[in-house]
Structure 1
Amino acid sequence: MSFTGFTAPWWFLLLIAVAAVAAVYVVMQRVLRKRMLRFANLSMLEKVAPKRQGWWRHGPAAFLLVAFILLTVALAGPTAEQKVPRNRATVMLVIDTSLSMKATDVRPSRLEAAQVAAKSFADGLTPGINLGLISFAGSATVLVAPTTDRGAVTQSIDGLKLAQATATGDAIVAALASIDSFGKVVGGADGPPPARVVLMTDGKETVGTKRAFDAAEDAKKAGIPISTISFGTEDGVVEIEGRRQEVPVDDDSMKEIAKLSGGEFFKAASAEELRRVYDTLGEQIGYEKKQADASRPWVVLGTLIGLASLAGALLLGQRLP
C-alpha cells in the first residue's frame, strides 16, 4: 500500500495494536477452552452447558477489530482528488467579428453559431470567475471588462456586429491590458489573480499595430496562456461588395499563437464541435483538482461497524466482546 495519499500515515502504527488485540483474543479463547475441558465433568457439561454457538459467536469481536482498522485509516488522514470550483481567476473571451464570420459553412452562420456557444460558455462558467469580452475586426473593442456579471457578457455577445479586416494581434494586446488593469484593482497579497485568454477566430490576421505572434510572446512573458479556437471549415465563402471570396480557416496561425503563449489549440468545424470545445474550456478554467480530506466515510463506516459489534455482543452473549 502506498501512503502518499495520507496526511498522517504514522497512525497506521496503531494496526500493530489491533493485530496484538486479535492475537490475544485468539489465545484467550484457546485458554478458556482448555480450562473448561480440564475442570469440568464432560457428561455434566453436556447437560448444563448451552449448545455451542459455532464460529459466529466470534462475530462481534471480529466486527470490532474491523471498526478499529477503519478508524485507524481515518486517523491517518486519507485524501482524494476532488474537483473544486475556482473563485479567483480572470478570463477574457476574444471573438472575431470580421466579415468572414458571416460564412454559412457552419449553420446558420459562423457568427451566429459562435454567439450561441459563447453564451453557453459564459453561463456555465464558475460564478466566482471574472469574465470579460472583446470583439475584434479592423480594431479591438473591450465590450465588457472582467466581471462576475454574466448578464452583461451574454447581452454584449448578442450585440456583436460584423466589420472589415482582422486585427488579431491588437485583440490580444487589448485582452492583456484589460487583464492587467483588473489585476491591479483586485490583486491582494497573493498578487493578481490567474488569467487566461480564449481567442476564437476563423481567419488570418490582416491588419493591426502589433503582430499576433509578438502579442502571443508578450502573453507568455505575462504568464497568461491563450486558448485558441479555429472555427469554420476550409470551404467557407462570403460575398463582400458583390464579390465572392473564399474564407478558409487559418489553423496554422492559431496553433502558433497557442504554442507561443503556452496555451492550447482547438479546432471546431461545426456548431456542435464549438460547443464541445467551450465545454472543455469551461471545465479546465472553472475547476481545479485538489487533494481534499476523505476521512469522513472511514469514520462513519468504522463507527457503524463498532456499534454493530457491541449490539451483536449484547444480543448473542449478553456481554461486551
Structure 2
Amino acid sequence: MDIDLSALHLLRPYWLLLWIPAAALPWAWRRRNDLKRQLQGTIAPHLVEHLIITPQEQPRLRPVYLLAALLSIGALAAAGPTWQRDIPAFVDNRAPLILALDLSPSMDADDVPPSRLQAAKHTLHDLVMRRAGARTALIAYAGSAHLVLPATQDPQLLDTFLQALSTNLIAQTGKDVLGVIEVAKRLLAAEQVPGTLVLLTDGADASQFAAIPAALKGSDLQVMVLAVGSGNAGVLRDAQGRARIASDGRPVQADFDEDALRKLASASNGPLGSLTLNDDDLDWIELHAQRHFQAAQGDPQQVQWKDAGYWLCWPLALIALLCLRRGWKVHWLAVAGLAVVLGAQPQSARAGPVADAFFTPDQQGRWAFEHGHYPQAAEHFTDPFWKGLAAYNAADYDLALASLGRLDSAQANFYRGNIYVRQFKFAQAITAYQQALKQQAVFPEATANLALAQALLKDYEDQQQAGTPDEKADKVVEDQTPSQGAKQKQQVTPQAASDQVWLNNLTTSPAQFLQRKFLLQDASRGTAEGNR
C-alpha cells in the first residue's frame, strides 16, 4: 500500500484533542503515587529523602499506560488519516453513459472472432455489469439511429436487450452517427448532468464529418470512438456462421476503415481506442468518462478521500488483549474482547444456536445481506422491507412483491416498480413509480425509471396499433342505446389474452420486439419528413 505523504491529512482532526487526556493520565497517576509529595507538610523536607526507602522494582507495564495508548491510537483512528482519493469503480452514479452499437452488415465480419458484433457485445456486457447501479443507456444504429433503452440502473435488463441486437434489425444501411448524437443529446437533457457517448463501430460516413462539430456545440456530451475490427479484411458470415458468398463465388469481405474512424474521432473531438477484448477497454472508457464528468462538474467539493483509520483497529485490539491481565481492575475489557472474537467469526453469524443466542434474525439477515448472501438474508429477515429487498437482489420476485406489498412507502413502491419492469408489466410499474413520487417528490431514481417504463409502454402500444402476428381479430359488439333510438355503436373488445401473448413474445424474443420497434420508428420518421 503506497502512502503519498504529500496528500496525507486528517478527515476529522478535532478527535486529536483526546491526546490531551491521554498525556495527562500517566502524569496524574505518577503524581498521585509520588510518596514524597504525599509526605510534604508532614515530615521536614530535608528528612524525607533519608527516611524513604524506594524499592528496586523492574519497570513494568501499568494499566494507565495502556489506557493512554488506547486513547491516543483511538483518537488517531477516529480522526480519519487519509492519503488516497476515493475514486469509484466507475463514473459517478449520477454520470450517465450512453452506449451506441453499430449494426451495419460489416459488423458481421470475422476478423475479430467470433465476429465484430459479438466481440463488441461481449465487451459491452462486461461494461454493463461493471457499471451495476450506474445509469447506462443503449442505442443501436446503422442507416438510422434507434433508442433501445433509456438510461437505467438495471444491468440485467440492459444486457437482455443488448444480447438481442443483430445486424438484421435495422433495414436502412449506413452509419448515421449524427442520428446517434441527436438521440444521445435528448437522453442527456433528461438526465441534466454531463455524460459520455461511446460509439462501437468499424467505420463512419464521411459525409457527416462536417456537421458533427455543430451537432455537439454547446453540449456536455463527450463522444468516444471504440474501433471494432483489424487491418485485415474480415469475411462476412450469417447467423449460422457460414461465409456469405458473392456472385463470383468468393466470400464477401468487409474492410476496416481506420482512416474514417480517425476522422470521426477528430470531428467529434473525442478519444479513439481499439477493441482489445480485455479489461483495458473498460479501463480506457472509465478513465476518459470520469475525467470528462469531473471537468464538466468543476466542483472540487466532489472529491472524496478513503478513510484509512480502520487499519488502527488491529493495534487497538492488541492493546485491549494486553489489558486482560490478572489483578488489573479492568475486567470489563473481557466483554469487549469477547465481542471482538464473536465479530471476527462471520461463519457463526449465519445460523445455529450460537448466532441465535447473540443475534436477532434481522441482525443475521443484515450480515448475510452485506456479504452478498441474498437468499439467506431473505430467509432471516423479519422486517418486510429488508426481506423484500433481499429477495429482490436474489431475483425471487414473488417473495419480494409479497413482502414489499405489505408496505406503502416510497422505497417499497420504487422496488415494486423495478420488479414489474423486469417482468415487462410496464403499466403496473408506472403506477408504482408514480405512487413513489407522490410519497417522495425528490426521488431521482424513481423519476428516471418512470421515464424508462413509460418509454417501454409506448413501444408496446405502438406494436398493438401495428398489430402482432399472434393477435386474433377484434370482437365487434353491438350496443343498442334506448335513449338514442335505433342508433348502433360498435365497441372494439380485444382478446383478453392478447396482452399476455405480447408479453410472452417480448420475454422470449426481445429481438422481434426491437425489430418491430425500429420499423415503426423508421415509418414515423418517413411520414414526418413527407409532411414537411
**TM-score after normalising by structure 2:** 0.45
Q: Secondary structure at the match of 2:304?
A: strand
Structure 2 residue identity aligned to 1:225: Q
8 Å CA contact 2:324, 2:330 repeated in 1: no
2:100 maps to: 94
Q: CA RMSD in A?
A: 4.2
Once the two structures are superposed, the pairs formed by residues 231-250 of structure 1 within 5 Å of their partners are 231-238=228-235, 244=253, 246-250=255-259
Deviation at 1:150, TM superposition (A): 3.2
Partner residue in 2 for 1:60: 63
CA distance in 1, matches of 2:156, 2:21: 60
- Name the counterpart of 1:122: 128
TM-fit CA distance, 1:12: 2.8
Q: Could you tell me how far 1:113 is from its partner in structure 2?
A: 1.1
Mind listing any 5+ residue stretches in structure 2 that lack a counterpart? 40-47, 237-243, 294-301, 332-532
Letter in 2 for 1:205: D
Structure 1 pair 265–214 and aligned structure 2 pair: CA distance change class (3 A): same
Q: Cα deviation per residue 1:160-213 (whole Å; 9 max; x = unaligned)?
A: 233632222321222112332x32xxxxxxxx2442212211213245597334
Matches within 5 A, 1:1-321: 5-23=9-27, 38-39=50-51, 52=57, 54-56=58-60, 58-79=61-82, 81-84=85-88, 86-127=92-133, 129-162=134-167, 164-180=173-189, 182-183=190-191, 192-208=192-208, 211-215=211-215, 217-218=216-217, 221-238=218-235, 244=253, 246-250=255-259, 251-253=261-263, 255-256=265-266, 260=269, 264-268=271-275, 270=276, 272-273=277-278, 276-278=280-282, 281=285, 290-291=304-305, 293=307, 295=309, 298=312, 302=316, 304=317, 307-308=320-321, 310-312=323-325, 315=326
Task: Judging by fraction of residues, say which structure has more strand.
Answer: 1
What is the count of residue pairs matched by the alignment? 289
Q: Secondary structure at the match of 2:231?
A: coil
1:159–1:257 CA distance, 2 compared to 1 (3 A): farther
Q: Take 2:253 and 2:289, find their aligned partners in 1: how far apart are those partners?
A: 39
**1:241-287 alpha-carbon deviations (Å, 9 max, x no partner):** 656553233452354256x25xx44222x4x24x5413654688699
- Shift of residue 308, structure 1, vs aligned partner: 4.3
1:308 to 1:117, Cα distance in 2 relative to 1, 3 A = closer
Contact 1:106-1:113 within 8 A present in 2 as well: yes
Conservation of the 8 A alpha-carbon contact between 1:84 and 1:290: no
Answer whether contact 1:227 1:265 (CA < 8 A) is retained: yes
Gaps of 5+ in 1: 46-50, 184-191
Contact 2:262 2:272 in 1 (8 A): no
Given that 1:170 and 1:208 are in contact with CA atoms closer than 8 Å, whether structure 2 keeps it comes out as: no
**Amino-acid identity (%):** 20
For residues 26-73 of structure 1, give each alpha carbon's deviation from its aligned partner in whole angstroms, at most 9, with x where no partner exists.
Answer: 6777867xx99843679xx7xxxxx94x233x2533322211211221
Deviation (angstroms), 1:94: 0.4
Going from structure 1 to structure 2, the CA distance change for 1:234 and 1:211 (only over 3 Å counts) comes to farther
Q: Which amino acid aligns with 2:233?
A: G
Distance 1:74 1:21, change over 3 A: same
- Identify if the C-alpha distance between structure 1 residues 229 and 11 changes in structure 2 by more than 3 Å, giving closer, same or farther: same
> For residues 284 and 226 of structure 1, what CA distance do their matches in structure 2 show?
10
Letter in 2 for 1:256: S
TM-score, structure 1 normalization = 0.69
